[in-house]
Amino acid sequence: MNEPRRREETIFEEAVELPPGQRAARTHVGHGSQRSALSEAGDSPLEDETLARQPAEVFDAGGSLIVSGYSRSSVQSALDKLEQSGSRVTSPLARVGKKWVAACEHPQIAVSACKVEQLGSTRIVTGPTREAVSVKVEELMEFGGVIVRDVECAGDVWTAVCEMRES
């Protein structure tokens, strides 16, 4: 009588170091086949589907708007609406952790419409709105600029003058 062959398989898990809140398990079954699973602590498929259906959030960051959401399509939809209202995408759609994120200009503050002219260490900022020129001047101040003449309107153009100081 032939006895059926018995095949033994070993199943075990490896501990893998990951950032806090994440865990991973690599399961080995038998002769070299393996399966990997990577998940966030507390995640479930139902929870992920619920998050993916949420609309993207838009955060005001001065001259920019930050668009963030759990699904690529919700963020893209929000970006499309903002582009229709005059925004220009400044940072393309990218995955950051579990969220999708992008940035665009504030539609009422068209910073890209501003011009900065350089005369030695002097910067003359002109633009269509007071807010846009103010945001551009703030950017220059982050790099050592000092306001010489505050934002004022001359005709239909807003202007400010900064002096760049060496750090």
pTM: 0.49
Contact 18, 24 (CB under 8 A): yes
Please give the DSSP secondary-structure letter assigned to residue 114. -
pLDDT digits (tens, 9 = 90+) for 85-114: 878 888 999 999 989 999 998 777 777 788
The span from the CA of 101 to the CA of 78, in Å, is 11
pLDDT digits (tens, 9 = 90+) for 14-67: 444 444 444 444 333 334 444 333 434 334 555 677 888 889 999 888 778 899
pLDDT band at 123 (very low <50, low <70, confident <90, very high): very high
Contact 110, 128 (CB under 8 A): yes
Domain ranges of the chain: 11-40, 45-105, 111-164
pLDDT band at 5 (very low <50, low <70, confident <90, very high): low
In a 3-state reduction of DSSP, which class is residue 70? Answer: coil
pLDDT at 120 over 60: yes
